[in-house]
Amino acid sequence: MNVDLALVCDYALIDQYGKLSVMGIFEHIWVQQFPVVHPRLHLVMRLKGRRTEIGEHKVRIRLVDEDGNEIINGDGTVTFSEPPAGVLDIEAGTVLVFDVPFEHGGTYQFEIAVDGTNMATVRLTAGIAPDPPASDSLE
């Protein structure tokens, strides 16, 4: 089993047929001040495996800052169903939505473990937004 895709974005959904749609992928958050809460951050994952891995698998998500302090954690499961005859690979997508508190600027990362094995890391940085460039005025 592996994590085929892992990213953060503004919005994502999985339709009734399993098609994943993702909008606004990013790796950096600009803010006016700290502390701040980034509302509705979407963490998107797609896991792939072999037919022999059908069944339930434990998933653990942690968001930690650059000092290793845990900001968010959660445990859940993903279940792979029997694929159609002749299909050897299985996949499951998930979209997790968080309101993420950032106490300070710096580097953060989501750590994704499946069945106790660290499978992926999604890095994210947060910083104070730079001042917009001065506009030239025409008179």
pLDDT at 87: 83
**pTM for this prediction:** 0.87
Q: In this structure, are residues 118 and 5 in contact, taking their beta carbons and an 8 Å threshold?
A: no
CATH number for 2-128 (one of 2.40.37.10, 3.40.50.300, 3.20.20.80, 2.60.40.2550): it is 2.60.40.2550
Q: Which residue has the higher pLDDT, 132 or 91?
A: 91
Q: Where do the structural domains in the chain lie, given as residue ranges?
A: 2-128
User: Does position 138 have pLDDT exceeding 60, yes or no?
Assistant: no
Q: What are phi and psi of 112, to 5 degrees?
A: -115, 120
Going by C-alpha positions, the residue among 104, 77, 79, 76 that lies closest to residue 92 is 79
Q: Which residue has the higher pLDDT, 104 or 137?
A: 104
pLDDT digits (tens, 9 = 90+) for 8-30: 999 999 999 889 999 999 999 99
What average pLDDT is seen over the chain?
Answer: 92
